[in-house]
């Protein structure tokens, strides 16, 4: 069952990522972040009605401390890295770096959750690392141009933070359920990112009106994606759930080629194929 949830999350999330690229031209990074989270809340509220944890104040401390770290620290950092990266570079170049998330998560889950990857999983990890090397090197030495390296570094850093956050997600879900957790997590993210937007994006909020339809669409997709994701986490190994969900990398990268007219280089093609192979190995390891 977890693989169906993870696939559903990947499809919704992949469609969302493609649409987000267009918003970065008009809106501030944290404005995009908090509004997407806010428009996800109605969807997640409906799902939260199925929760058996009606009294949230009765939830144990193991529910709250991971949530506080995620909302106050990890979400703002991850949002900055992700949206800055897709704003400054082609999504077909930077999104494949998110395929490293199952790699980072396998490491953090090993230490935090004691989930050990199998030999097939390690093979998948090695394949993904090779894909990233090819993407970065482009058949040469690592590029020194800041317009290439900075977005790549930001996406990698955001992925590391997301992997750590996903391990913390697992802890909170383990003492509650996916329904209530997804809603409270998103509510906390909305509040924290709104505060950052007030401080950092005051001069880039005038274009919200003309992008409102896109924000509502992306927010709704985000809500569906996140509910499917936490539902998969509740029953599946974290690194494997993330591996299957990572089709959200391949979908927008392909859409970038066809609709945004991004360059289709040999290194991108090879890297995407290797990423797909690595993710399949991780998913079925």
pLDDT digits (tens, 9 = 90+) for 217-233: 999 999 999 999 888 88
Asked if the structure places residue 208 within a domain, the reply is: no
Q: By residue range, what is the domain housing residue 20? A: 2-27+58-173+223-283
* In-domain check, residue 184: no
Structure confidence at residue 71 (pLDDT) = 96
User: What pLDDT score was predicted for residue 39?
Assistant: 95
Confidence (pTM): 0.82
> Does residue 99 form part of some domain?
yes
- For 214, 240, 259, 265, the CA distances from 73, given in Å and listed in that order, are 27, 25, 34, 36
Of the candidates 279, 267, 259, the one whose C-alpha atom is nearest the C-alpha of residue 140 is 267
The domain tally of the chain equals: 1
Instruction: State residue 265's pLDDT score.
Output: 77
**Cα(199)–Cα(194) distance, rounded to whole angstroms?**
9
What is the spatial distance between Cα 13 and Cα 248, in angstroms, rounded to a whole number?
Answer: 6
Q: List, in order, residues 6 or more apart from 138 with CB less than 8 Å away.
A: 265, 267
Q: Produce one character per residue of 117-130: b if its CB has 16 or more CB atoms within 10 Å, e if not.
A: beeebbbbbebbeb
Report pLDDT for 1: 73
On whether residue 144 sits in a domain, the answer given is yes
pLDDT tens digits along 134-182 = 776 665 544 445 556 889 899 999 999 988 898 899 899 989 988 899 9
pLDDT tens for each residue of the chain, 285 residues long: 777 888 888 888 888 887 888 888 888 899 999 999 999 999 999 988 888 777 888 899 999 999 999 999 999 999 999 999 999 988 888 888 887 887 777 776 676 666 666 777 778 778 877 887 777 666 554 444 555 688 989 999 999 998 889 889 989 998 998 889 999 999 999 999 999 998 887 765 556 777 888 899 999 999 999 999 888 888 877 767 877 787 777 777 777 777 777 777 777 788 888 888 887 787 676
In a domain, residue 35? The reply is no
Cβ-in-10-Å burial (0-12, 13-18, 19+) of 220 comes to middle
Q: What is the DSSP letter of 70?
A: I
Q: Annotate 222-251 with b (16+ C-beta within 10 A) or e (fewer).
A: bbbbbbbbbbbbbebbbbbbbbbbbbbbbb
Burial class (CB in 10 A: 0-12, 13-18, 19+), 79: buried
């Amino acid at each position: 069952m977890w693989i169906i949830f993870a696939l559903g999350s990947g499809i919704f999330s992949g469609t969302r990522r493609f649409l987000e690229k267009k918003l970065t031209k008009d809106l501030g990074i944290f404005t995009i972040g908090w509004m997407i989270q806010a428009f996800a809340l109605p969807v997640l509220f409906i799902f939260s009605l199925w929760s058996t944890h009606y009294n949230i104040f009765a939830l144990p401390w193991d529910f709250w401390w991971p949530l506080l770290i995620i909302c106050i620290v990890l979400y703002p950092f991850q949002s900055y890295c992700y949206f800055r990266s897709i704003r400054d570079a082609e999504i077909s170049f930077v999104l494949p770096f998110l395929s490293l998330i199952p790699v980072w998560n396998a490491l953090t889950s090993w230490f935090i959750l004691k989930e050990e990857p199998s030999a097939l999983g390690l093979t998948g990890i090695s394949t993904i690392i090779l894909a990233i090397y090819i993407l970065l090197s482009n058949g040469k030495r690592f590029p020194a141009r800041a317009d290439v390296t900075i977005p790549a570094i930001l996406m990698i850093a955001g992925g590391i933070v997301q992997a750590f956050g996903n391990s913390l997600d697992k802890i909170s879900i383990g003492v509650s359920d996916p329904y209530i957790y997804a809603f409270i997590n998103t509510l906390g993210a909305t509040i924290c990112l709104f505060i950052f937007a007030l401080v950092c994006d005051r001069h880039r909020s005038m274009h919200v009106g003309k992008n409102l339809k896109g924000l509502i669409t992306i927010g709704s997709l985000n809500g569906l994606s996140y509910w499917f994701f936490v539902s998969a986490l509740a029953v599946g190994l974290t690194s494997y759930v993330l591996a299957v969900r990572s089709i959200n990398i391949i979908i927008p990268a392909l859409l970038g080629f066809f609709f945004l007219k991004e360059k289709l280089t040999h290194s991108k093609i090879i890297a995407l194929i290797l990423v797909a192979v690595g993710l399949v190995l991780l998913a079925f390891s």
